[in-house]
């Protein structure tokens, strides 16, 4: 007799024949979980609800990781270009980092009802402010470096 692996929810039909007497017997084995149809439907409905929550949580974690990366890159750039930046403006940018981190922490802990889109929006606002700041601060230094290079070549 050979048995293949069958899904847990399948019926198994078993046929046997006694080779000496030629007598046949058969039976059907039906899986039984002990759950009613209503309990099964409730479990399916719960799974669908949790699937939505899991997708939202996954999205929130993804944008929070992106935000953390942006903040880390910003802090690194502030240290790298500290000699080219205005201290007061650097302090303004640095103050935004803990604020964004706190917002994200509250979202992930459930203290806030903010969504992944809210985190993404706050991160984009932070990124825009940082980009504008660096663009204005670094550009003059880049121009003077190019001018010095051009003068050195003459």
- The pLDDT of residue 119 is 93
> In the structure encoding, which two tokens stand for residue 61, read together?
């974690």
Q: pLDDT tens, 104-147?
A: 998 888 788 888 999 999 999 999 988 888 787 666 544 544 44
Query: Exposed, middle or buried, 97 (CB in 10 Å: 0-12/13-18/19+)?
Result: middle
Q: Is the pLDDT of residue 9 over 70?
A: no
Is 2 or 106 the better-scoring residue by pLDDT? Answer: 106
How far does the chain reach from its first CA to its final CA, in angstroms?
93
Q: pLDDT tens, 31-67?
A: 766 778 898 899 989 888 889 888 888 999 999 999 9
- This prediction has a pTM of 0.59
């Amino acid at each position: 007799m050979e048995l293949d692996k069958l899904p847990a929810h399948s019926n198994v039909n078993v046929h046997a024949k006694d080779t000496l007497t030629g007598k046949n017997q058969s039976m059907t084995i039906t899986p039984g979980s002990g759950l009613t149809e209503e309990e099964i439907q409730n479990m399916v409905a719960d799974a669908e609800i949790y699937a939505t929550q899991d997708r939202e949580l996954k999205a929130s974690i993804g944008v929070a990781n992106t935000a953390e990366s942006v903040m880390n890159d910003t802090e690194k750039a502030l240290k790298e270009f500290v000699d080219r930046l205005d201290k007061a403006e650097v302090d303004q940018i640095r103050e935004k980092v803990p604020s964004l981190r706190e917002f994200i922490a509250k979202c992930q802990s459930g203290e806030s009802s903010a969504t992944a889109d809210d985190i993404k929006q706050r991160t984009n606002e932070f990124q825009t402010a940082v980009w504008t700041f660096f663009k204005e601060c670094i550009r003059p230094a880049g121009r003077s470096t190019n001018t010095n290079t051009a003068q050195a070549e003459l």
